[in-house]
Structure 1
Amino acid sequence: MHHEGLTIDKFKRKAVLVSDAQNLIMPHMHLGDTEWIALAESGGRILAEDVIAPHPYPHFRRSSMDGYAILSNDTKGCSTDKPIYLEVVDEIPCGSLPSIKLVSGTVSRIMTGAKVPDEADAVIMFEMTEPNENRGRRYIQLKREIKPGQNITPVGQELAEGEIILNKGRKLGTGELSVLATFGIHKVPVIKKPRVAIISTGSELLGIDEPLQDGRIRNSNTFMLANQVREAGGEPHILKMISDDLTIAKQRVEEALTLYDVVITTGGVSVGDYDIMADLVTEKDVEKLFNKVTLRPGSVTTAAVKNGKLLFALSGNPGACFVGFELFARPAIGRMLGVTNPFLPEYRAELGTTYSKTNKFTRYVRGRQEIVDGRVLVYPAQLDESNVMITIKDSNVLIVIPPSNESIEAGEMVKVIKLPS
């Protein structure tokens, strides 16, 4: 199919390695602006700045158990044969302050987490004492020596004032929110979410609320990509579908590039998956990064930059679209958020079943990871063609199968990429 203004040159493609394609993208990803949001809303966001402890933690000496705050020197020489008696003169619940200054021979009843009196240098656990009363006064009997510092959590044991609590680039989860709350940090500096436009192209596409029609399919890629963008930390914006009018499609993509930080297109069989991109990259202000990658599925995944905005053209085939996003768009969004390592985790695992397809390019096979007798096994999906979408829901890894003319046998070690869900 030929469109005015397009030449056969645009279809010339030089395949690059996945790693090289990723490296071509990264320099164009600039860190987003900082915004301050409420701690309660910050889960899942990325810190824009180092967070410094405004005070030591703990900021007062506290008891690590229920017992009695004492002057350890009072217990010297104490034993089963030579018990001592100390008078209980105060009671300190958690959250309260000591009300009586301790002197030699006196102790304060104290609860776990309560402030230890300044004069005390140890806490004796409740179970190591015996209560006693004489003439309306309360005493405890003690039969062993106590060392200074025992059962007292010192000031700054966990963090000193001025120490880094959390480094910028860290994703905020349950533990991070807990420690920020502990230090009273109720407004958090985070990187603004990149705004990502998602545009599906193709006259064969139906809206998800439309009745089924013979020869047409529902637009599933849009919703798959939107959730992938959310998982990556971006803010997805689903734009109106485009049919097979190349002029309108080009105009829509160019408009999206002015309004959003990243634009992702998917599909467009009757136009040709990458006609929009091919036409755009002939313009002077567009830099083509790559238009073919040595991978299956999705070898003709394309990326370009216009006015500092990144455009990804992903296949309309669901499997290829899914893989293209995970390998290229996800790390790009992560870099814009300042994530320390924006790439999905990689490791080695044992192939659970023989993989018999031969490959000219490296194949990224959807698969399932299981732990069997302490071994990490991965099983390729039985249906893994680029146009197959059902197995996406059952996959938690991508199994990396290198180019080969022979089968890879069960039991061999392969590289695995852990999917986010």
Structure 2
Amino acid sequence: MISVKEAISIINSNIPKSKKIQLSLLEAQNHILAQDIISVINMPPFRQSAMDGFALNMHDRLTYKLIGEIKAGDSHKIELKPGEAIKIFTGAAVPDSANAVMQIEKTSVTNETLVLNETINLNTNIRPIGEQIQANTVALPEGTKLNAAAVGYLAGLGCTKVTVYKNPSVGILVTGNELVKPGNELEYGKIYESNSIMLQAALLDSGIKNNTIYEVNDDFLNTKNSIEKALNENDILVVSGGISVGDYDFVKGALEELKVETLFYKVNQKPGKPLLVGKIEDKLIFALPGNPAASLTCYYIYVKPVLKKITGELETTSITQKEINHDFTVNNTRSQFLKASFSDNKVSVLSHQQSSMLNTFALANCLIHLPEGNYELKKGAKVDIYHI
């Protein structure tokens, strides 16, 4: 049995290499850029009006001669003489001969005469060429996560496709004769199966949409065949249940028969001790405990950081320190991950810490990591938390 630190170190040494893929902008949303994006144009590409108003070739009076209008999208070029003005709309191209735009609210018009209500400074309300970005400079660097604003920004620069880190496909294999799908009658001795949809939801939170659920009863041959099928069809396999030492826990034996290299088995932690991580070729296998809270805890501590690394995120773990909001006694021979909730930099341990219970996990926004030992934590003591 190894420590949490050792387990994380072993996993980090065996993370598969990230793959790159070219996607359309919309397909690339929430992906991480795999290269710098260089703008091929200035933005704006022309002197642009920031207001509805009047473009002026300024002179020493407040009256100007109106000679027409320019709408957004007009491509004709107009030459203004000193003392001339042209009506202009937001986003329209400002003539090279204009040196300010007065907003419409600060003017009055009679026939073809424009009167300014106040003086104006040079270049007022004119967006210069390249104000947002200049051609041949980096628009977004590698490692940027493409949110809605980034997608819109790149579209505005004329981009249609980008190279991003490919999200892995993940198989979720759930074992157990006692499991019944929600919606069916619950017979005596059965429980509703929740781990598959829980882990699928966690993957979706991590931006992994390409995931497939596999179900298998507690039978060695069926377990082996299902694992083999899932490995053939996915980049990463997450198994829930069947990894302990009971007579009907067949996952470890099936993995061994399939020539999966065991990187480690069992971690000195609570919950989640019977965790196995294996590798075959360039694929990782995470065999998680079947108890729901233990399974989800192991996902957040071990699986999620791997997914972040593969998909190009620079910060793969979200660990910070917070002050515990109450006294707490630690008396454990294993490291503990406790469901907890923090606000205003204070963190509180929640009730129902058993590995089978999700009711307070549903209210948690972090896990407190407490090293093994016998000690007292006083209110205000700093503890490490994993953001989830």
TM-score (norm 2): 0.89
Counterpart residue type for residue 334 of structure 1? K
Question: Residue 50 of structure 1 contacts residue 164 of structure 1 at CA under 8 Å; is this kept in 2?
Answer: yes
Shift of 1:303: 0.4
2: CA distance between counterparts of 1:106 and 1:279? 84
Question: Residue 103 of structure 1 contacts residue 119 of structure 1 at CA under 8 Å; is this kept in 2?
Answer: yes
2: CA distance between counterparts of 1:407 and 1:273? 40
1: CA distance between counterparts of 2:63 and 2:182? 80
Question: 2:328 maps to what in 1?
Answer: 355
Shift of 1:130: 4.5
**One of 396, 405, 417 as aligned partner of 2:374:** 405
More displaced stretch, 27-36 vs 111-120 = 27-36
**One of 355, 368, 372 as aligned partner of 1:386:** 355
2: CA distance between counterparts of 1:27 and 1:233? 23
Question: Residue 65 of structure 2 contacts residue 112 of structure 2 at CA under 8 Å; is this kept in 1?
Answer: yes
2: CA distance between counterparts of 1:350 and 1:137? 70
Question: Residue 43 of structure 1 contacts residue 177 of structure 1 at CA under 8 Å; is this kept in 2?
Answer: yes
2: CA distance between counterparts of 1:99 and 1:255? 65
Question: 1:79 maps to what in 2?
Answer: none
Q: Deviations over 1:199-224 (max 9, x none)?
A: 12222222334321222222211111
Question: 2:214 maps to what in 1?
Answer: 239
Secondary structure at the counterpart of residue 210 of structure 1 = coil
1: CA distance between counterparts of 2:22 and 2:345? 41
Counterpart residue type for residue 241 of structure 1? V
Question: Are 1:58 and 2:44 an aligned pair?
Answer: yes
Question: Residue 90 of structure 1 contacts residue 109 of structure 1 at CA under 8 Å; is this kept in 2?
Answer: yes
Q: Deviations over 1:100-119 (max 9, x none)?
A: 31011211222222211111
Question: Are 1:215 and 2:215 an aligned pair?
Answer: no
**One of 98, 107, 116 as aligned partner of 1:120:** 98
Secondary structure at the counterpart of residue 346 of structure 2 = strand
Question: Residue 350 of structure 1 contacts residue 376 of structure 1 at CA under 8 Å; is this kept in 2?
Answer: yes
Question: 2:300 maps to what in 1?
Answer: 326
Question: Residue 267 of structure 1 contacts residue 273 of structure 1 at CA under 8 Å; is this kept in 2?
Answer: no
Question: Residue 199 of structure 1 contacts residue 241 of structure 1 at CA under 8 Å; is this kept in 2?
Answer: yes
Q: Deviations over 1:76-129 (max 9, x none)?
A: xxxxxxx44221212223333465310112112222222111111222333444
2: CA distance between counterparts of 1:39 and 1:277? 42
Gaps of 5+ in 2: none
Distance 1:259 1:143, change over 3 A: closer
Question: Are 1:88 and 2:66 an aligned pair?
Answer: yes
2: CA distance between counterparts of 1:271 and 1:203? 13
Question: 2:319 maps to what in 1?
Answer: 346
2: CA distance between counterparts of 1:84 and 1:365? 71
1: CA distance between counterparts of 2:246 and 2:36? 48
2: CA distance between counterparts of 1:272 and 1:188? 51
**One of 141, 165, 171 as aligned partner of 2:139:** 165
Distance 1:172 1:202, change over 3 A: same
Give the percent of matched residue pairs that are identical in Structure 1 and Structure 2: 28
Question: 2:3 maps to what in 1?
Answer: 16
How large is the RMSD of aligned CA atoms in angstroms?
Answer: 2.6
Distance 1:158 1:100, change over 3 A: closer
More displaced stretch, 96-105 vs 292-301 = 96-105
Shift of 1:271: 4.2
Question: 1:3 maps to what in 2?
Answer: none
Question: Residue 172 of structure 2 contacts residue 213 of structure 2 at CA under 8 Å; is this kept in 1?
Answer: yes
Counterpart residue type for residue 137 of structure 1? E
2: CA distance between counterparts of 1:193 and 1:272? 37
TM-score (norm 1): 0.83
Shift of 1:385: 1.2
Question: Residue 266 of structure 1 contacts residue 273 of structure 1 at CA under 8 Å; is this kept in 2?
Answer: no
Question: 1:46 maps to what in 2?
Answer: 32
Question: 1:365 maps to what in 2?
Answer: 338
Question: Are 1:297 and 2:271 an aligned pair?
Answer: yes
Gaps of 5+ in 1: 1-13, 76-82
Shift of 1:341: 2.2
Secondary structure at the counterpart of residue 49 of structure 1 = coil
